[in-house]
Amino acid sequence: MEIIKRYKNKLQQNRFIKNVLILVGGTVFAQGLVVLSSPILTRLYTPEAFGILATFISIVSILNSVVSLKYELALPLTRTHKETMNLFSFNVMLLTLISLGYLLIFLTFGDYIFSKLGLDSYLNLLIWLIPLTVLFLGFTTNITHLFIKIDRFKSITAVNVNSIVAKVILQLGFGVLIPYNFGLIIGDSLGRFIGNLLGFYLMIKSNLLRSYQEAKSLLSVETMKRTAVYFKKFPLYSMPAGLINSLSSHLTPIVLTFAYDPVVAGFYSLTQRVLGMPSSLVSQSISQVYLNEAPKLLEKDISLVKKLYLKVTKNLLLFGGIPIVLLAVFGEGLFSMVFGEKWSDSGIYLQALALMFIGQFTVVPLSQTLNILNRQNIQLLWDIGRVVLSIITIIVSAKFLHLGPALTLFIYSVSMFLLYVVLYFISLYFLNNNQVASKEEIR
């Protein structure tokens, strides 16, 4: 008992581990619910329905990656409360205007876009739902980074958990009451909207702006402009990098639909749902704490950032690598037993993608290192290489070499793993050489 007590006290004293546990704990619970609901959803919806959902999520995610020009990444780096609130307000106005722009584009070209994707029957729904979902998701993303700045990690957990819980409940409800493919899409959008509302409530509860008079004294167009100019490197480098990164992460279902059919995209999406999304959200939770802690350590000594970088790497590799390998070994039989015989291909895809998932889980949480060191241009070059390689491997393997989906995904997985290894050592190089971009370079 004494050993447990000492270990507990040690955890409580370590702020980084404590914050990680807060975020990961909520994420594990929410994603556990996603995994537990999947055997029911796979019996309520077809692989094609999952493929359509994956396409919808891909479009929303890609558009969301640029909806506030990546200024949200600058929120944890602001120097004063006034600067923080002005940048946040600027971001909200920006994402509202850009979301309206998306709506105009879909109203004008939606018929052509969705007919090319084979989603004609969902045209009217998607034209309005995609821009609205991007608006809500963009707002939640900015609130999340605002909470990172003010150390409100419990609030981040609350938003993530409630959003996912609502999403699962709604998708199950629609699947039982309305037996149509769009139930997954509606449930996903409404779940994100509920997370958005909770984030707004928690932001108000945080008393960041206690009164109208305080808001009036803090917020000004001039301060917003000055802050946006100071952090201009984020839209210049992080926004293109974020778009390219989002394309490489979320284009896969669309490319698989183009190269094969929506059913293949559906099998792939279940693999992502069971393993990719949970591992991604857990690593995202760690990334959020890392983004909060590393800039503070950088102010003291860059060697402290390197020490944290190596420590987190080891823990991520142990925490993520072993479960992923075990799932890959028993993937095909496990998927057939749990989700039904028609989903056995998803288990095969899991085996093919295991290497990529290990690299993704280990390296992605630490990818903010280049942003912290003001090396967004390096991150941009890596992301360009990633999106080009990811598209080429799938298209060439499927269309020119005429390989089956599983072998195509294995080639894709190996190429992505190697790119993650490259990114890891690039970040480590700059940490080893104490290379932080100067203020003159930033400006």
HSE (side-chain half, CA atoms, 13 Å) at 49: 20
Among 185-189, 359-363, 369-373, name the one with the lowest average pLDDT: 369-373
8 domain-assigned: no
Q: Tell me the average pLDDT across 260-288.
A: 77
- How many domains are there within the chain? 1
Summary mean pLDDT of the chain:
84
363 domain-assigned: yes
User: 8 pLDDT exceeds 60?
Assistant: no
Among 238-247, 265-274, 390-399, name the one with the lowest average pLDDT: 238-247
Other CB atoms within 10 Å distance of the CB of residue 296: 12
Model confidence at 14, pLDDT cuts 50, 70, 90, reads low
430 domain-assigned: yes
4 domain-assigned: no
Are 331 and 351 spatial neighbours (Cβ–Cβ below 8 Å)?
Answer: yes
User: 3 pLDDT exceeds 80?
Assistant: no
206 domain-assigned: yes
Are 40 and 172 spatial neighbours (Cβ–Cβ below 8 Å)?
Answer: yes
pLDDT at 168: 93
Q: What amino acid is encoded at 305 in this protein?
A: V
pLDDT at 441: 47
User: 338 pLDDT exceeds 90?
Assistant: no
Model confidence at 439, pLDDT cuts 50, 70, 90, reads very low
Model confidence at 440, pLDDT cuts 50, 70, 90, reads very low
Q: What percent of the chain has pLDDT over 90?
A: 35
158 domain-assigned: yes
Whole-number Å distance between alpha carbons of 297 and 293 = 6
pLDDT at 370: 80
Are 87 and 145 spatial neighbours (Cβ–Cβ below 8 Å)?
Answer: no
Tokens of 247: 């394309």
Q: Tell me the average pLDDT across 314-333.
A: 81
Q: Tell me the average pLDDT across 300-329.
A: 81
2 domain-assigned: no
pLDDT tens per residue across span 66-112: 999 999 999 999 989 899 999 999 999 999 999 999 999 999 999 98
Q: Tell me the average pLDDT across 359-374.
A: 81
Dihedral angle, C-alpha 432, 436, 437, 440, nearest 10 °:
-140
Model confidence at 372, pLDDT cuts 50, 70, 90, reads confident
194 domain-assigned: yes
Model confidence at 153, pLDDT cuts 50, 70, 90, reads confident
User: 20 pLDDT exceeds 70?
Assistant: no
User: 361 pLDDT exceeds 80?
Assistant: yes
Name the residue range of residue 419's domain.
15-442
Model confidence at 192, pLDDT cuts 50, 70, 90, reads very high
